Chain A
Amino acid sequence: MSDVREKSTPEKQSPVEGSATEVDRRNFLREGLAVTGGAIAVAAALSPLTELDPDDLPTVEEFLQKHYKEMSPTEMEAALSRIAQKVEDRFDVKPTVEDVKPLDGVEFVYALNLSRCIGCRKCVHACVAENNQSRAPEIQYIRVLEMPRGTLDPEQGDHYYDHPTVPDANHFYMPVQCHQCKNPPCVKVCPVEATWQEEDGIVVVDYDWCIGCRYCEAACPYWARRFNFAEPEIPKDQLNPDMAYLSNRPRPKGVVEKCHFCLHRTRQGRMPACLEVCPTGSRKFGNVLDPESEVSQILKTNRIFVLKEEAGTLPRFFYYFDERYPRAGEEPDGAIREEGKA
């Protein structure tokens, strides 16, 4: 083999050899300098890798974890215990991490009384506490817009308002959070199907599948999605240990998150945290497929406002107003139902 090459090369490679013979001191120095400089530049460019924390790298199991919908029950079990272990290592709290599935015959709807909301922001912070959002940098799912009376234009809304007391006489308040649209633009733009709509209407995110491209954040007309620019910071003593895979387990850096109607609570029959803390009872939640539910009654009888209705997103989040007097043609007391008395 080597014989063959030695025989054949002299004719073929003569021009190369010719140039090789031209390596003189000058060329050697010049090219050596360039190569050394290049090596230094590459090394300097790669030097941040030395600061890489091995804990930031995913383990083999995490790397090979499948998409939420493709996981078998045993794989999901393994993923949940992995998450629980990670939380315990980091927060010294033993959490209960579950995979809560949608209930049959349930479609969630939220209604919010704009006549009653006073803008106290309790919902914002109850949500943060319930859903283990990052405290610094701050991630909040709910924004309370303060708007001048007489307009419903979100462009005039301000969510930095800071009056000594609320409500301010010249403003009204409109909390905005994920509208769980029936026609969700955020789901359509996701290139990896890390976000989707569940049977009960809740749009969820698989935080382990999200690649952090933030397309969904740009697509959402309600500014409902939040991106974890940094590692979420949650004080150990404020961690909510009642967790679910698709909702409030601690998120990694670089993924998108959003309101999920507290699905770890609501899919077990409870009310969302923002509703329970509301001191004015402006927030209403329930199953719209049940004609007797509060939200069904509200949608039937109250004046409803849909934010950015023209966007065609078909939200499951409705704003309504109090009806102070019977509507024309309606019996003054005709609509009173007797079983509402508890």
Chain B
Amino acid sequence: MKDNPVAWLVGPILMLLGLVLLLSPRLRSLPVSEQVVVEASQIDPAPLRQPLRPPLAIRVAGYQKGCMDCHALFKSGSKTPFTMFQHREIQRAMDHGINRRCYNCHDLARRDQLALDDGSLVGFDQAVLVCAKCHGTTYRDWQRGSHGKTMGYWNESLGKRDRLTCIQCHDPHAPAFNPFKPLPGPHTLRMDTIPRLPGSGHLQGEHVHGKKNPLRMRGSPNLSHVGHSSRSTSATVPEPLDSEKTESKKSEPAEAEPAKMESGGESQEVSHE
């Protein structure tokens, strides 16, 4: 032990270790993805439609008119679909299958009322009963609660329950739902800064030394998509600026892919700016 030359190496090795520890990059913050901005208007819980409620009124040349103000004067035949000058927007939007006759639902004589099968009249606030003329099973489901939306309080002793009616979600003239633009999908931790390699569909850093990188298993095939899609439909998603920033940033740490720790520090700085 006394004259062992290896013993001389202990000190320098420890010093070297200290140097390595001091100089090695340190994970000061985790590499995180850019924040996805979702406008409050996109997650507004208000009903999709604000249907007409009695007393009905229509604005004609700046004046409020009730239905019967005009329809008392102008009589139209019961079998004449869409030959009038008013309500052209309904004519354009009409998409209710074979049910395209106004008087299937509206009453011929009293235009501010809706007609039921037995000839009795109900107001526009009772449109549910008119829909139930044909959509019996859906009406049954709505009454049970399995169809339709219930807002407010589940416990009626604590607050008001608001069961939405048919026409608060469905347009009675075109009841099918329009397609929705989906809100951005998840890109959780470790799924940032992985641009696609140009040409191929592969992701940067997907493979390390010929093996699939376990941290990149799913990669973020959507991340580049998020940028594209939100830019193409910037009318509905008002965050194109943000996603473009993401894209331009993504290209720069692309080379330093193995040195993940450093890129973490970088993204932290960026987020402070």
Contacts and interface: CB of A to CB of B under 8 A. Distances in A.
Interface string A271-315: 101011111110011110000011101100110000000000000
B85 interface: no
Interface stretch (A58-66, A72-80, A88-96, A321-329): A321-329
A160 B185 contact: yes
A269 B14 contact: no
Given A27-B2, A38-B14, A41-B18, A340 B154 contact: no
Contacts of B159: 269-270
Nearest to A35: B11
Contacts of B161: 342
B126 to A, nearest CB: 10
A136 B35 contact: yes
A7 interface: no
A337 interface: yes
Interface string A105-137: 010000101001011111011101100000111
A43 interface: yes
Interface stretch (A9-17, A44-52, A148-156, A184-192): A44-52
Contacts of A286: 154
B155 A44 contact: no
Nearest to B152: A271
A157 interface: no
A273 B151 CA distance: 10
A170 to B, nearest CB: 14
* Residue from B8, B139, B145, B188 with most neighbouring chain A CB atoms (10 Å): B145
A326 B15 CA distance: 81
Contacts of A27: 2
B215 interface: no
Nearest to B230: A162
A248 to B, nearest CB: 15
A1 interface: no
A118 B233 contact: no
Contacts of B152: 270-271
B45 interface: yes
Interface in B211-239: 218, 220-222, 225-226, 229, 232-233
B29 interface: yes
Interface in A231-280: 233, 235, 266, 268-271, 273, 275-280
A302 B141 CA distance: 9
A113 B33 contact: no
Contacts of B259: none
B265 interface: no
A333 interface: yes
Contact of B22 (A34, A47, A160, A323): A47
Contact of A294 (B30, B139, B145, B182): B145
A160 B18 contact: no
A137 B35 CA distance: 8
A271 B149 CA distance: 11
B233 A271 contact: no
Q: Size class of A's contact patch?
A: 35 or more
B84 interface: no
A164 interface: yes
A22 to B, nearest CB: 8
A27 B18 CA distance: 23
Interface stretch (B55-63, B101-109, B114-122, B173-181): B173-181
Contacts of A44: 17-22
Contact of B182 (A32, A42, A120, A270): A120
A33 B33 contact: no
Contact of A37 (B12, B144, B150): B12
A103 B153 CA distance: 14
Interface stretch (B36-44, B71-79, B250-258): B36-44
Interface string B136-170: 11011111111111111111011101011000010
B51 interface: no
A269 B157 contact: yes
Contacts of A270: 152-154, 158-159
A301 B146 contact: yes
B32 interface: yes
A36 B13 CA distance: 11
Nearest to A127: B43
Nearest to B224: A162
A301 B143 CA distance: 12
Most buried by B among A125, A320, A324: A125
A40 B14 contact: yes
A136 B150 contact: no
Given A269-B155, A285-B154, A297-B145, 17 more contacts: A27-B2, A44-B19, A113-B147, A125-B42, A126-B45, A136-B35, A161-B182, A164-B233, A165-B180, A229-B30, A276-B151, A284-B150, A293-B154, A322-B146, A323-B137, A333-B140, A336-B143
Can you list the 10 inter-chain pairs with the closest CB atoms, starting with the nearest? A269-B158, A37-B14, A33-B11, A294-B145, A281-B149, A340-B143, A165-B179, A40-B18, A44-B18, A44-B21
11 contacts: A37-B18, A41-B14, A113-B147, A122-B43, A124-B186, A162-B225, A230-B30, A266-B154, A270-B159, A276-B45, A297-B144
Interface of B: 2, 7-8, 10-15, 17-22, 26, 28-30, 32-36, 38, 40, 42-45, 48, 128, 136-137, 139-155, 157-159, 161, 163-164, 169, 177, 179-189, 218, 220-222, 225-226, 229, 232-233, 271
